[in-house]
A and B are shown apart, each in its own frame.
Chain A
């Protein structure tokens, strides 16, 4: 079992739809990262959160520490949101190195 699991692996949505990507982890963590990687390859750090909820524009990230689960929501999705979304957690047993989920490939069609 992977220590960080994301679902779904692939997601296709119509422009304007509300999107949810989920991340479950099995290790104790201090914080969880949501990253975005566009087809060109560059990675953008979207959120780092350790509790509750954070919002940035149309993006919302939530985390439930007790249930070891986080969600990334995109409201009013747009084709430019098409990217790979990656969940990552620092693993306390590995010196807080990031352990990455496999990523969710999102395609938003116009």
Chain B
């Protein structure tokens, strides 16, 4: 149990376009979902925390208008990178947690975004 999926796994887009990444908890209801970004050879950096039905809480330095997060249901959160630029190229990972699983975070497989 406790499987988290992400879609797409890989996306290449042109500069200026917007990209949506989906994060789904497949077999449990996730009260909280987290979005991370990882640069090559670096650790994960938390971008934002989202609770179902409420606005996401962004970490310092993360532009909320640039990285739109929607957590409309207990099994789905989306991250939209708006007007993407090459510097947004990165590996984006989501995780999901619920009190039922003692708030352990279960990670998705990640999405590699390349902006040309």
Contact = CB atoms under 8 A, between A and B. Distances in A.
- Chain B binds chain A: yes
Interface of A: 31, 33, 35, 40-45, 48, 86, 95-98, 100-103
Contacts of A86: 43-44
Contact of B109 (A31, A41, A95, A96): A41
Nearest to A96: B103
> Interface residue tally of chain B, by bracket?
10 to 19
Contacts of A102: 43
Interface string B5-46: 000000000000000000000000000001000100001101
Nearest to A48: B104
A42 B107 contact: yes
A44 B95 CA distance: 10
A103 B103 contact: no
Nearest to B103: A96
A80 B112 CA distance: 22
B77 interface: no
9 contacts: A31-B104, A33-B105, A35-B107, A42-B108, A43-B107, A43-B108, A45-B104, A96-B103, A98-B34
